[in-house]
Amino acid sequence: MEDKVKEKIKEIIINKEVDGFLVLKRYFNYVVPYLFTEKNLEDLEELSLEEVKYPLARIILKIKKFYPDKKFGILVRGCDEKHLIELNKYKKINLKELYLLGINCSKNLALKCECPSPYTKIANISFGERVEGKNFEVFHKDLSFWLEKFSRCIKCYGCRSICPLCFCNNCSLEEELLVKRGFLPVDYPIFHLVRAYHLAGRCIECGLCEETCPAEIPLRKLYKEINEKFYQIFGYKPGEDIEEKHPLEFLEEEVKEKYGI
Amino acid sequence: MEYKLVPSICPYCGCGCGILMEVIEGKLVGTLPLKTHPINKGKLCIKGWSVHEFVYSENRLRSPMIKKGDKLKEVEWDEAISYAAKRLLEIKEKYGPSSIALISSARCTNEENFLMMKLARYVLGTNNIDHCARLCHSASVIGLIKTFGSGAMTNPIPHLEEAKTILIFGSNTTEAHPIVATHILRAKDKGANIIVVDPRKTHIARIATKHLQIKIGTDIVLINGMMNEIIKQGWEDKEFINNLTEGYEELKKTISKYDLSYVAKVTGVNEKDIYETAYLYTHQKPSSIVYCLGITEHHYGTDNVISLANLSMLTGNVGKPSTGVNPLRGQNNVQGACDMGCLPQYLSGYQKVSDDKAREEFEKFWKKNLPKEEGLTVEEMFTEALKGNIKAMIIQGENPLISDPNISRVRKALQNLEFLIVLDIFFNEMTEIADVVFACSSFLEKEGTFTNTERRVQYIPKVIEPIANTKPDWQVISLLGSALGSKGFSYDSPEEIFNEISQLTPIYRGISYERLKRYPLQWPCKTRLDPGCEYLHKDGFVRGKGRFIPIEEKEPFEIPDEEYPFILTTGRVVFHYHTATMTKNSPTLNKELSSVYIEINPEDAQRLKIEDGEKVKVISRRGEIEIKVRITDNVSPGLVYIPMHFSESPVNVLTSHEPLDPQSKIPPYKYSCVNIKKID
């Protein structure tokens, strides 16, 4: 499979379908995201399909900002694709300008990530065998459980800084009226609830935040619980369907309809 | 079009986390955590996330400078180097080699520390070389060498996850070593007992399973009390003691008087908690001890460390996975700076300068005789400078005008020098008083290796080109060495220096760049096939038998009285690093916290009619500062706390440089008597 991926990437770069292609590559003993271009095609030998998750959608957003006129491709997993679907709805990126190659996740990774759909749906090609995920039960815990977890927070902002869907220019977590600066323990639960609230109906439950949290707070489970509530109210699951409108969009229309503004 | 992510190692604390530097068109634009790194596995603290921010700060030094009249003037490298060499030679000629002293930097690479060591011993002919390990973990190096035979952290960080009981002494791990704390929290989630011994309600104390809020400085009494109870109950590991240790009977005799009621009275910890801690440590194994400067920074720091080593040997909690005595080292490369022999009594790899055989190895390699008398430690250098015996100093990446105790004394000592060379990356208090300033490149602008707290040697590639007219320290020291007439400094690359290190340093002998690029290695690593050493004392202690050394309780050097009724202790916060030279120049970190504060208990604040946020004067026998108040029960009545970071209210104006710990020469930072006065 690795060879097929390499060939395809090479082909679309040489055919100038894209100017750069983002995918993981071995670097020393590590696996890191790498932008392949016409100039470094020989490095494709070091391409890696290891199941290491990086915020590729966030990275491509940054690259695109520096090179708005260039065309890019990415090798996406199911979760990367969901990030991009949401970013497209928020008009942060234009999916039509991206060349997506897909790779399906193994059963192991799907279980580790508690992912119900560990495969891509809109990518041009999907490499690898498609396995079904599992619908994990939402994790209902009482407040004391969460307060113990939140109290560990060391305010690294990693949950925000790694998240492809945290793209606000002014982050509420840095708003002094909400969260006092320069203190540990951080103001909890406000810090964590502000973020959870912001991600309601936006979070695609990829778990990058949970993986990067030095305080081992089960953040994905928290956001999953909030997403469940969001679904009950609005019937919307983020990242699932590229055509489906985001509630904020139809709310806007409803508002227009009702109030004429 | 150029976008790349280059792996590197975080330049702040001793965790040694993997970071990914994001570079667009040769410019740093971001930092990401390195997912597949063995320590942080994709996690970072706020400092790690902000690494790229300080590099382009306008406060970076951009060119070498020489003091002309009262002012520093930018000059070319040739002029700065030849002037520095000329002055050093004059001073050496006039006053002899021992009139010169060097302080290397625990934030620089192994290669650069090794060169500082070589410059001192081989070129200048003095063993007066030391660095800031003197001020943080010299007591660990000495204490653990005396008891175990090796002065380093015994077990790797990931082992903590599998421990069933973790005793944390004097370490606010979540703030000072956040990623070590991650591994502790993972253990907690698996049901481990996390017991914190600390006079403050630190962040880690608040989230632990048990907090023993000990009276400051009474650790020896607590540990002796625990050991006495363990022996009384028959919980000691008799087989381990018989087979692997010596000196047990003397220990038993000494500690027999530390019964629970006495220990509870002295330490302020109740008997039940001491008993339970002793029970858990011996019954829910494997048990690890983690400690930091709350243990070492006392004038009996080495005795504190020895006491922890005694406790671990008594219960067989050392030499096995997830056990051990684990000092958390401060800087990213403080372990490496020690390993490289930037210590007045050791050549690289802890080979004594007084040991003829060890010294001869270096003499043969460098083709020159080396001095064999032990040199001066950091505080002794300043004492001798005050007396006029030290005339010139070379200080690399270190800011003793914030970080050393009794700053006014340090300032006088430095002003008393005839010549001061400073190597740094930022304008700071030190560059203001230097005669020559070498503008150096940051860690991202050069190649090299760092050794983290658990002896893990890690390679860092050059990520960007040196900014402005800066040079990496290894090139600067090489130029200076050559200008001083030495032939041994014509290095073309850091790898060449590393090869010399591995040749001369048995514990690094098996390590090479080629291997490090594939995977980091933990020393001792003695041959090219040696996989390195995950944890120490696996097959018996490095010194042969583990040695129990009985320790009696110690008296404080000053006690609270009417004039100075409060005890002051110091520490660090998660948002900044040490003298904040780098973190203050990082907008994210500075936005989070930009001024320092004193923590005062609500009872004391009420009595003194002080309000939260008010500015007060804090006075000790050494000096006084003005500082903002935070009222909090983090400290108990009578105890106050100031983080060490900022130059606006430097706490080390108040701390004392004496008495030094007689064994390690560490000053008693963690304890001073102060008074607090309202400002009218």
CATH at residue B474: 3.40.50.740
* pLDDT tens readout for residues B616-660: 999 999 999 999 999 999 999 999 999 999 888 999 999 999 999
pLDDT digits (tens, 9 = 90+) for B152-206: 999 999 999 999 999 999 999 999 999 999 999 999 999 999 999 999 999 999 9
How many angstroms from the chain centroid is the CA of residue B446?
A: 23
ipTM: 0.95
> Is B196 part of the contact surface with chain A (CB cutoff 8 Å)?
no
A20–B3: do the CB atoms touch at under 8 Å? yes
Do B394 and B283 lie in one domain? The reply is: no
- Predicted pLDDT of residue A139: 80
Indicate yes or no: CB of A20 within 8 angstroms of CB of B518: no
Which of A30, A36, A43, A170 best tests the B interface by mutation, with the highest count of B CBs <10 A? A30
Is the residue at B660 inside a domain?
Answer: yes
Verify that B358 and B486 share a domain, yes or no: yes
Residue A252: the pLDDT is 72
Domain end point (choices B305, B328, B351): B328
Residue B582 distance to chain A (closest CA, Å): 17
Give tens-digit pLDDT for B321-371.
999 999 999 999 999 999 999 999 999 999 999 999 999 999 999 999 999
Same domain membership, residue A116 and residue A220 = no
A123 lies in some domain: yes
Nearest CA in chain B to A50: B36
C-alpha B279/C-alpha B235 separation (Å) is 8
Residues 373-392 of B with CB under 8 A from A: none
Mean pLDDT of B598-610: 98
H/E stretch holding B143: helix B138-147
Domain co-membership, B357 together with B320? no
The average confidence (pLDDT) of chain B is: 97
Share of chain B above pLDDT 90, in %: 99
Is A75 in the same domain as A15?
Answer: yes
Q: What CATH code is carried by the domain that includes residue B200?
A: 3.40.228.10
Total of domains in chain B = 4
- Predicted pLDDT at A244: 87
Q: Domain span at residue A80?
A: 2-127
Tokens 């990030």, located at residue = A83
Q: Residue B30: its chain A contacts at CB < 8 A?
A: 62
Residues B445 and B484 occupy one common structural domain: yes
Of A20, A54, A157, the CB nearest to B35: A54
Query: Is A99 found in the same domain as A19?
Result: yes
* Interchain pair B46, A157: CB under 8 A: yes
Same domain, yes or no: B150 and B105: no
What are the pLDDT tens digits along chain A (261 aa)?
899 999 999 999 999 999 999 999 999 889 999 999 999 999 999 999 999 999 999 999 999 999 999 999 999 999 999 999 999 999 999 999 999 999 999 999 999 999 999 999 999 999 999 999 988 888 888 899 999 999 999 999 999 999 999 999 899 999 999 999 999 999 999 999 999 999 999 999 999 999 999 999 999 999 999 999 999 988 899 999 888 888 877 777 777 776 666
Instruction: Tell me the per-residue pLDDT of B239-270, one tens digit each, with 9 for 90 and over.
Output: 999 999 999 999 999 999 999 999 999 999 99
Task: For residues A6 and A44, state if they share a domain.
Answer: yes
Please tell me if residue A63 touches chain B, with a CB cutoff of 8 Å: yes
- Looking at the structure, tell me whether residues B73 and B31 fall in a common domain: no
Per the structure, how many domains does chain A have?
2
Do A100 and A11 fall into the same domain? yes
With an 8 Å Cβ cutoff, are B44 and A52 in contact?
no
Please indicate, yes or no, whether residues A37 and A112 belong to a single structural domain of this protein.
Answer: yes
CA distance B139 to B665: 8
Do B192 and B243 lie in one domain? The reply is yes
Q: Does B43 touch chain A (CB under 8 A)?
A: yes
CA distance B301 to B173: 19
For residues A74 and A176, membership in a common domain is answered with no
Neighbours of B411 (CB within 10 A): 17
Average pLDDT rounded to a whole number, residues B36-55 = 97
Whether residue A13 is found in the same domain as residue A110:
yes
pTM: 0.95
Chain B 581-620, residues with CB within 8 Å of chain A CB atoms:
591-594
Whether A11 is covered by a domain: the verdict is yes
Task: Quote the pLDDT of residue A152.
Answer: 97
Residues 107-146 of A with CB under 8 A from B: none
CB spacing of A152 vs B185 below 8 angstroms? yes
B299 and B416 co-located in one domain: no
B22 in contact with chain A, both atoms CB, cutoff 8 A: yes
- Does A53 contact B at CB distance below 8 Å? yes
Residue A147 contacts B, CB cutoff 8 Å: no
Task: Report how far residue B482's alpha carbon sits from residue B118's, in angstroms, rounded to the nearest whole number.
Answer: 12
- For the record, the structure tokens of B464 come out as 């960007």
Largest distance between two CA atoms of chain B = 73
The answer to whether residue B108 scores a pLDDT higher than 90 is yes
Structural domain includes residue A261? no
Whether B228 maps to a domain, the answer reads yes
State both tokens at B504.
Answer: 């001369």
Average pLDDT over residues B116-120: 98
Q: Establish if A137 belongs to a structural domain.
A: no
Q: Are residues B180 and B99 in the same domain?
A: no
Q: Is residue B288 part of a domain?
A: yes
A113 and A195 housed in the same domain: no
Residue A158 has its nearest CB partner, among B30, B44, B592, at: B44
Does any domain span residue B378? yes
Say yes or no: A121 and A202 in one domain: no
Residue B279 domain-assigned?
yes
pLDDT of the residue at B14: 94
Domain assignment of residue B615, given as a range: 566-678
Residue A97 lies in a domain: yes
8 Å CB contact of B43 and A158: yes
CATH number at B29 reads 2.20.25.90
Shared domain check, B260 and B185: yes
| Pick from B24, B49, B185: CB nearest A66 | B24
Is A241 inside any structural domain? no
Residue A161 lies in a domain: yes
Residue A118 lies in a domain: yes
Q: B170 and B236: one domain?
A: yes
Q: Positive or negative CA dihedral for B58, B60, B66, B68? A: positive
With beta carbons under 8 A apart, name residues in chain B contacting A161.
49
Same domain, A98 and A32: yes
* pLDDT of amino acid B483: 98
Render pLDDT for B512-553 as a digit per residue (tens, 0 to 9): 999 999 999 999 999 999 999 999 999 999 999 999 999 999
The span from the CA of B475 to the CA of B490, in Å, is 9
The per-residue pLDDT for A218 is: 95
In Å, what is the CA distance from B35 to each residue of A29, A53, B12, B44? Answer: 11, 8, 18, 10
Nearest by CB to residue A29, choosing from B3, B518, B573, is: B518
Q: Residue A149's closest chain B neighbor by CA?
A: B207
Distance in Å, alpha carbon of B445 to nearest chain A alpha carbon: 18
What are the tens digits of pLDDT across the range B210-222?
999 999 999 999 9
B313 and B183 in one domain?
A: yes
